[in-house]
């Protein structure tokens, strides 16, 4: 028998004793797998069986099972890879990811901590370890990690969210609200952050604000800020089916890689031209590149397929607006609204076209319909308030702008300034000066220098 110290060294180095104690991979239920994955997994399994001491072969099988969401089998395969190659970051880290999906958070924390002993600077592993510790009921360790992650700009939204959740769990809802609002200011589409914020606002008795946040949660759903993760991206890239290509296209589009997203969606349509979602996303992407001809072709394809027609007409309206074809854009928005009378964004955009035409009453009517359909859509309420000021009804505008006072995020300075202007127009000079000063402070905090200068000019005229 090897002495304990020698055995440990051999194990850490992945020497013969590790492979000798590692059995070959067990059988897998190949016939139950989706057809696109069977042959690939079968080949990887055969290779791992033929080379039972090869950590890379074990890891290849694990990554394929992971890519196809075979969580338990992937975990078992990663465990073999770790035994065979204990100094490989990937196998510890990816096993931690899988264990999180299995809701085995304490086990996930152990694997992620092991990964960080190999690559201490891995930002994705640090983020996931903080999350796993929170879920495993180890708040002090989680908080310490989140506080360090605040210093990493890509991870700051997640760090504020985690700190907000931790504060709320302790019943400290005021700091929870501050952290969650900061998370949302960094990633406004974060449905889970809106929901957590709603719970803390409700605990503080701020029921109207809580209701608005719940509506935002329903609007954004599962959107979540990402941290660049090349290791996990490599797993996702192993799949080449239509669903995987669609997900890759969506991720690339969210990251601003328009060319990459277009390539993924076009590849999907080569295999199945009837996938309306790919056509619809290409309308937006080609529109962003001002490739009007291709965007128009994909819009026509969506309409021909008869799928999500309200959204297709809305996207077409945006496309036409980018070309400054305002009358045609208005017609497209009207078609979208005809299908879905509560289509908030279409109503708001239609109001903007009326405004361009100096049709202030129709613009106000469209903005108000948008607000009625979605009271938390701040831009529509802001636009309605502006129209009321333009129509000489500043008192009504004050009532609209007052509903935009919380939250104090990056959008808030212009809303507070609009409230100040409305007060001044309504004859409330002192109230207007107060709100203008508050708007200036917040604009300076968010480094909105042009707005600060505009507020300074207005304040100077009121002295």
Backbone angles phi, psi at 255, to 5 degrees: -85, 0
Eight-state DSSP code of residue 152: S
In this prediction, residue 212 carries a pLDDT of 83
* pLDDT the model gives residue 376: 83
Say if CB 51 and CB 57 are below 8 A apart.
Answer: yes
pLDDT of residue 69: 94
- Left, alpha or beta for 16 (phi > 0: left; psi -120 to 50: alpha)? alpha
Q: How far apart are CA 256 and CA 334, in angstroms?
A: 30
Alpha carbon 203 to its chain centroid, in Å, reads 26
Residue 44: CB atoms within 10 Å: 23
Residue 31 per-residue DSSP state: G
pLDDT at 17: 46
Please give the Cα distance from 91 to 111 (Å, whole number).
Answer: 9
Q: How far apart are CA 320 and CA 333, in angstroms?
A: 10
Q: Which pLDDT belongs to residue 8?
A: 36
Structure letter (DSSP) for residue 267: H
Q: According to the model, what pLDDT value does residue 16 have? A: 42
What pLDDT was estimated at residue 18? 52
Contact 145, 129 (CB under 8 A): yes
Task: Look at residue 3 in the predicted model and tell me its pLDDT.
Answer: 37
Q: How far apart are CA 325 and CA 343, in angstroms?
A: 21
CA distance linking residue 108 with residue 395, whole number of Å? 57
For position 14, what pLDDT does the model report? 43
How many secondary structure helices (H) and strands (E) does the chain include?
27, 0
Q: How far is CA 420 from CA 379, 383, 406, 446, 457, in A?
A: 17, 15, 15, 19, 13
Residues sharing a CB contact under 8 Å with residue 337, sequence separation 6 or more, in sequence order = 343, 346, 347, 350
| Average pLDDT along the chain, 463 residues, taken 10 residues at a time | 35 44 87 90 96 96 96 97 97 98 97 98 98 97 98 96 97 96 92 95 92 82 85 92 88 84 94 93 93 96 92 94 96 96 96 97 97 92 97 97 88 95 96 96 92 92 77
In whole angstroms, what is the distance from residue 114 CA to residue 99 CA?
14
Contact 208, 101 (CB under 8 A): no
pTM over 0.75: no
Q: How far apart are the first and last CA of the chain?
A: 90
Token code pair at residue 85 = 């190659």
The DSSP H or E segment spanning 310 is helix 309-322
Cα–Cα distances (Å) from 452 to 363, 412, 434, in that order, read 28, 13, 15
- For residues 210 and 227, give the distance between their C-alpha atoms in angstroms, rounded to a whole number: 28
| Euclidean distance between CA atoms 382 and 414, whole angstroms | 9
- Packing angle of the helix pair 105-118, 123-135 (nearest 10 deg): 150
How high is the pLDDT of residue 232?
95
Both tokens assigned to 221: 């759903």
């Amino acid at each position: 028998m090897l002495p304990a110290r020698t055995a440990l060294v051999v194990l850490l180095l992945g020497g013969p004793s590790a492979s000798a104690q590692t059995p070959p991979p067990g059988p897998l239920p190949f016939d139950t797998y989706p057809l696109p994955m069977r042959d690939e997994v079968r080949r990887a399994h055969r290779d791992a069986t033929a080379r039972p001491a090869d950590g890379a072969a074990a890891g290849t099988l694990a990554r394929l099972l992971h890519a196809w969401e075979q969580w338990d089998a992937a975990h078992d395969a990663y465990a073999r890879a770790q035994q065979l190659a204990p100094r490989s970051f990937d196998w510890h880290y990816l096993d931690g990811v899988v264990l999180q999906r299995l809701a085995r958070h304490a086990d996930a924390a152990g694997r992620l901590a092991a990964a960080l002993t190999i690559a201490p600077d891995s930002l994705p592993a640090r983020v996931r370890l903080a999350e796993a510790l929170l879920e495993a009921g180890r708040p002090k360790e989680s908080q310490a990690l989140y506080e360090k992650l605040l210093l990493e700009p890509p991870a700051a939204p997640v760090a504020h969210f985690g700190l907000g959740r931790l504060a709320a769990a302790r019943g400290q809802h005021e700091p929870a609200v501050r952290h969650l609002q900061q998370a949302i200011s960094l990633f406004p589409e974060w449905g889970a952050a809106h929901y957590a914020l709603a719970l803390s606002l409700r605990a503080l008795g701020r029921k109207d604000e809580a209701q608005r946040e719940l509506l935002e949660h329903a609007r954004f759903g599962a959107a979540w800020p990402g941290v660049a993760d090349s290791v996990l991206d490599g797993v996702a890239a192993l799949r080449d089916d239509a669903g995987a290509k669609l997900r890759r296209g969506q991720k690339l589009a969210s990251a601003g890689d328009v060319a990459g997203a277009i390539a993924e969606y076009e590849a999907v349509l080569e295999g199945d031209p009837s996938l309306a979602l790919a056509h619809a996303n290409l309308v937006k992407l080609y529109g962003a590149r001002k490739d009007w001809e291709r965007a128009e072709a994909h819009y026509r394809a969506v309409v021909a397929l008869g799928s999500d027609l309200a959204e297709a007409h809305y996207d077409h309206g945006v496309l036409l607006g980018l070309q400054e074809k305002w009358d045609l854009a208005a017609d497209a928005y009207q078609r979208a609204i005809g299908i879905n009378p509560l289509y908030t964004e279409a109503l708001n955009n239609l109001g903007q076209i009326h405004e361009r035409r100096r049709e202030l009453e129709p613009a106000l009517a469209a903005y108000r319909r948008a607000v009625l359909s979605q009271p938390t859509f701040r831009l529509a309420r802001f636009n309605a308030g502006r129209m009321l000021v333009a129509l000489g009804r500043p008192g009504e505008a004050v009532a609209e702008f007052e509903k935009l006072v919380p939250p104090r995020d990056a959008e808030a300075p212009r809303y507070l300034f609009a409230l100040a202007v409305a007060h001044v127009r309504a004859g409330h000079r002192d109230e207007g000066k107060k709100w203008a000063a508050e708007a200036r402070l917040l604009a300076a905090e968010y480094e909105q220098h042009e707005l600060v200068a505009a507020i300074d000019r207005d304040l100077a005229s009121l002295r």
